[in-house]
Structure 1
Amino acid sequence: MFLVMGITDGRKDFSFNQLVTCTICGKYGRFNVFMTYTVLSFFFIPTFKWNKHYYVQTSCCGTVYELDPEIGKAIARGEEVEVKQNHLTRVINGRGFTTGYKKCRLCGYETTEDFDFCPKCGTRF
């Protein structure tokens, strides 16, 4: 008997549109909502998903937030919801820097470092 099974990680993007003013870069942008998960597949057919996490990424500067699971489930069901700042937790990578980058509103300088002020012109990020 030959049995093909595997465990992999997956990502699902949702068609969710909400215009926002980014709290990081100060520009207008849109929330892109997605879910990551782990899946068990038998004969290349996904059968069981677990370890689901919902995330929001801004279209302006790419900052990633973890989304409240209940709001994420509502978006996955196709419900009309509004994502508020208290539903979001900013994701920090292992080195302590935020994922994505910062862009200065005044001079346009871009950096992936966690500066409070622009190294080129001194404007607060």
Structure 2
Amino acid sequence: MFFLGIFGANSKVVPAGQVSAAACPACGETASLSVCRRYSYVHFFFIPLVKYDSVYLATCPRCASVFELDPALGRRLAHGGEITVPPGGLRLLRNNVLPRCPACGAPQQKDSLYCNRCGAKL
């Protein structure tokens, strides 16, 4: 938050809706992705004047990975419309899926060279 006299700047996150039955590109599970809108604004005595830098973020409820949604799709969703996300419509911002061992399927740390359970090379 930035405040100078009676003017200032801040950012805010508000819910925009949900995308139902979308496949998460990170974990592959089909789930309802929750979408929020993050934007920055300039205020005068804490009354918002100008909004800028708007980004729509989608979160997978299964793996908690975060994606950026196309702004046109996000605006349509925020105004109450139903949307279908095309295959390349989500850009990965944060992948929270842990890698798994190909031999036993156990979750591993990202920098591991060998499986902690079975010892197989990753």
Partner of 1:87: 89
* Long gaps (5+) in structure 2: none
- Structure-1 separation of matches of 2:48 and 2:33: 28
Aligned residues: 113
Partner of 1:37: 39
Relative to structure 1, the CA distance from residue 103 to residue 90 in structure 2 (aligned partners, 3 Å threshold; closer, same or farther) is same
The structure 1 segments of at least 4 consecutive aligned residues displaced by more than 4 Å after TM superposition are 103-108
Is contact 1:15–1:33 with CA below 8 Å preserved after alignment?
A: yes
Higher strand share: 2
Q: TM-score, normalised by structure 2?
A: 0.72
Q: TM-score, normalised by structure 1?
A: 0.70
- Say if 2:98 is the partner of 1:102: yes
SS at match of 1:73: helix
* Long gaps (5+) in structure 1: 92-97
Relative to structure 1, the CA distance from residue 103 to residue 42 in structure 2 (aligned partners, 3 Å threshold; closer, same or farther) is same
Larger Rg: 2
Is contact 1:104–1:118 with CA below 8 Å preserved after alignment?
A: no
- How far residue 78 of structure 1 moved from its aligned partner, in angstroms, is 1.3
- Say if 2:52 is the partner of 1:50: yes
Aligned residues: CA RMSD: 3.0
